[in-house]
Structure 1
Amino acid sequence: MSVRVIILLVQCLLGSSLAMQCQEVPGRLKQIDASVGQVFGVTDNNLIFTLYGDRWTQVPGSLKHVTVGPSGVWGVNQNNAIYKLVGATWVQVPGLLTQVDAGGDQFVAGVNMYDAIYCLAQSPTVEYRGAGSPTPWQQLPGALVYYSCGPNGCWGVNRGQDIYVMKGVTPTACRGSLNWQHIPGKLVMIEVGTDGSVYGVNAGGDVYRRDGITASNPAGTTWTLLSTCGKSKHVSYDLGHLWVITRDDRILDCAV
């Protein structure tokens, strides 16, 4: 797949939403993750791709969800087994998760099939090299279906589409304050960028950005609706690019 050819250029305004300029990128993905200058994604049949310059390059292996960040490249497969990319090899990590996030400050977090929430602190995350490496997963209170971390805290959504933020998260205390703050609104997925920005998608396929986030106010203040001229199911942000996966698996690169 090549991104050299721009298929679609859109700029639209719907009601009170903020217009974005998006270009459609050739290819199809069901999930995408961008961080620290890298972009990874997986297809509907669980093939893995990374953006190398202006081309998609296939990565060996099979994953249903992939994540990249300060913690490296991690993913989970169809059987919920967890993997970390060590060198050019996927190394299995003990445990089972349905979704994993590498956006924390050199720690990883995720949720399992029972909506239980876990994190792995900095040292075992960074030092994991394979069998024999310690993996002391720590469980957080509560139940979520999606969990994502950044420099100012971790955000998640539950089966009721309620939104929560966990403050006080550090590399050595990945569980944070253990006090969830409920955030008004409804989302089905949420992603935190390396710079602390927060984006999410609701059940109607609309994309939202959380504004007002600072180190002193990790919860932010308001949601802004972003117009992508279509319905979305997954988003990820890095370095001025909001990567959007539409409901029919098209890939949009939007300037925000």
Structure 2
Amino acid sequence: MNVCLCILLFSHLFLYTIAWDCEVIPGTLKQIDAGLGVVGGVNDDNEVFLFLGTGFQSIRASLKHFTVGPAGELGANSSNNVFKFADGSFKQIPSIQFKQVDAGGDQIIVGVSPVDDVFCLSKDANNVRPSGDAPWVQLAGKLKYYSCGPSSCWGVNAAGNVLLRRFVTGASCGGSGAFEAVSGTLSMVEVASDGNVFGVDPQGNLLQRAGVSISNLFGSTWTNILICPNGHKHVTYDLGRLYVICSDGSIRRCI
């Protein structure tokens, strides 16, 4: 069922209305991620699903967080153990624990530990399959959620503050060396492979960072998007499609 939903975009002086064409995808999820044309997510029972054709199909795995992107397909389970899909199955990455992991950067892996420490692994180390002696880099600072795009990474800390790390590359997963504050408050944030930035705030509002570009990684302002009438839980964006989990767990795909 296609539903034309209006998106309200607020600037300081003007109100804009843009129509997204959205459809409801059967099922419920608590977290979703998309990259390189692959869409996956997990439900409240930590079952893992991939979007195949017109719906989500369960795969044999139990994860609380799942990510897909240039770095591969990875996830963290309820014990915070980290797994990467290789040779037809999920294989544990030794000596690291994450509660949230992201594969969206330039073939780098990033994640946050159960105590909000932030780590990254370079492209070369990731591509030789991470092992117990993989050279993980710990970044100064604390985050509860961290997501990377082609040239920057965005994070959210326990207080909901939004932070950006510039000039992240496959060879330098730590980027510019410092987190920089961005205005606004979020509970989660996702950076798409084309650099678009979306997030959900603590009140369940869905937001997009306007004006983000290579020459302006910070963008200009947050714009409010209305997809779910009763609030939003999680969001991801890939190849021109916006995937949104509503507060009740239902799923929307919009173009």
Letter in 1 for 2:74: W
8 Å CA contact 1:152–1:214 kept in 2: the answer is no
Aligned to 2:42: 42
8 Å CA contact 2:241–2:253 kept in 1: the answer is yes
8 Å CA contact 2:64–2:77 kept in 1: the answer is yes
Q: Give the Å deviation of 1:239.
A: 0.8
Question: Residues 13 and 106 from structure 1, CA distance in 2 versus in 1: closer, same or farther, beyond 3 angstroms?
Answer: closer
Question: Residues 133 and 114 from structure 1, CA distance in 2 versus in 1: closer, same or farther, beyond 3 angstroms?
Answer: closer
TM-score normalised according to structure 2 size: 0.92
8 Å CA contact 1:244–1:251 kept in 2: the answer is yes
Task: Give the number of the structure whose residues are more often strand, by fraction.
Answer: 2
Question: Equivalences for 1:94-243 in 2 at 5 Å?
Answer: 94=94, 95-128=96-129, 134-230=133-229, 231-243=231-243
Aligned to 1:33: 33
Question: Residues 18 and 115 from structure 1, CA distance in 2 versus in 1: closer, same or farther, beyond 3 angstroms?
Answer: farther
Pick one of 5, 8, 21 that aligns with 1:11: 5
Letter in 2 for 1:138: V
Q: Secondary structure at the match of 2:73?
A: strand
Give the % identical residues.
41
In structure 2, how many angstroms separate the alpha carbons of the residues matched to 1:87 and 1:18? Answer: 46
Instruction: List alignment gaps of at least 5 residues for structure 1.
Output: 1-5
In structure 1, how many angstroms separate the alpha carbons of the residues matched to 2:55 and 2:236? Answer: 18
Q: How many residues align?
A: 247
Q: Give the Å deviation of 1:193.
A: 0.2
TM-score normalised according to structure 1 size: 0.92
Letter in 2 for 1:50: L
Q: Secondary structure at the match of 2:242?
A: strand
In structure 2, how many angstroms separate the alpha carbons of the residues matched to 1:145 and 1:88? Answer: 30
Letter in 2 for 1:199: F
Superposed CA deviations along residues 144-164 of structure 1, whole A, max 9, x for unmatched, are 000000012000011111101
In structure 2, how many angstroms separate the alpha carbons of the residues matched to 1:182 and 1:107? Answer: 22
In structure 1, how many angstroms separate the alpha carbons of the residues matched to 2:78 and 2:102? Answer: 16
In structure 2, how many angstroms separate the alpha carbons of the residues matched to 1:28 and 1:18? Answer: 28
8 Å CA contact 2:105–2:151 kept in 1: the answer is no
Q: Give the Å deviation of 1:58.
A: 1.5
8 Å CA contact 1:199–1:209 kept in 2: the answer is yes
In structure 1, how many angstroms separate the alpha carbons of the residues matched to 2:206 and 2:144? Answer: 18
In structure 2, how many angstroms separate the alpha carbons of the residues matched to 1:27 and 1:10? Answer: 20
Q: Give the Å deviation of 1:229.
A: 3.6
In structure 1, how many angstroms separate the alpha carbons of the residues matched to 2:16 and 2:134? Answer: 44
8 Å CA contact 2:160–2:186 kept in 1: the answer is yes
Question: Residues 113 and 36 from structure 1, CA distance in 2 versus in 1: closer, same or farther, beyond 3 angstroms?
Answer: same
In structure 1, how many angstroms separate the alpha carbons of the residues matched to 2:7 and 2:165? Answer: 33
Aligned to 1:73: 73
Q: Give the Å deviation of 1:17.
A: 6.5
Aligned to 1:59: 59
